[in-house]
Amino acid sequence: MTASGAAMVFLFRKQSSRSLQRVLLGFAAGVMIAASMWSLLIPAIEEAEAMGMPGWLPAAGGSVLGIVFLLSMDYLLPHFTPESFHCKEGETSRRRTALLVLAVTLHNIPEGMAVGISFALAAHSGDPSLLPAATALAMGIGIQNFPEGAAISLPLHQEGMGRRKAFLIGAASGVVEPIFALLTVLAAGAIQPLLPWLLSFAAGAMLYVVVEELIPEANLTEGGHTGTLGVMAGFLIMMILDVALG
């Protein structure tokens, strides 16, 4: 889905609409907000209570750890903002592109972990209702990755990068997700007591990306309500997926 979104770079001969970019980023934000609540935090609370601990403890503690993780990354890497696509003084285009891709890729790690943790939880708990819920999360993350891929490739092309290279960079930013999903599933058996914390970690990290990166980039206070409508659409679609399947 990330590659499909990045392929939108081949559909635009000139600069893409800023309104379209606001809608895409807003939609991604809405999906991630709903996924954090229904697919990550609520299961984390329920799993913690089943283990005999206060549900709020791993939900809050894991979220804080996820926020601190990405906050520390932001001190080391550039933010995903329009300025990130411009070369700073003394900075080569190749180095700038490498830093940008690394920053976006690191932000995709929690999404892959979230999918892996959800399927691991479904496998270990034996609750048949958790498998459809994990599937809903995977579908929601996939839908969210479409505008995310476009949000990377389109600005890169507008800054002068070739279509093919912009597409490859946009698609490559999503490769880390299935890798970390698989690694999380393989490790889940040994760290089952930590599942509530890991679910909350992914939720906190995803919410941090929404508040710090996606919503500000959607320019919700400029150019009408396109970004806001994108957030609402993404939230509703992900909520329906999760509730209907879970």
Least confident of 4-13, 89-98, 148-157: 89-98
Nearest in space to 93 (alpha carbons), one of 162, 151, 147: 162
- Tens digits of residue pLDDT in 151-204: 778 777 877 788 898 899 888 888 888 998 998 888 876 777 788 888 898 889
Sign of CA dihedral 40, 174, 132, 30: positive
- Tens digits of residue pLDDT in 15-43: 556 777 788 778 888 888 988 888 789 88
Percent pLDDT > 90 in the chain is 11
Number of Cβ within 10 Å of residue 218's Cβ equals 27
Whole-angstrom distance, CA of residue 163 vs CA of residue 233:
29
Q: Per the structure block, which two tokens stand in for 240?
A: 């329906």
DSSP string for 45-70: HHHHHHTTS-THHHHHHHHHHHHHHH
pLDDT (0 to 100) of residue 223? 57
CA contacts within 13 A on the Cβ side of 56? 0
pLDDT (0 to 100) of residue 140? 81
Residue with tokens 């698989």: 182
pLDDT (0 to 100) of residue 14? 56
- Provide Rg for the chain, Cα atoms: 18
pLDDT mean across residues, the chain: 79
- Residue 142 scores a pLDDT above 50: yes
136 confidence band (pLDDT: 50, 70, 90): confident
DSSP string for 161-218: --HHHHHHHHHHTTTHHHHHHHHHHHHHTTTGGGHHHHHHHHHHHHHHHIIIIIHHHT
Least confident of 45-49, 79-83, 143-147, 154-158: 79-83
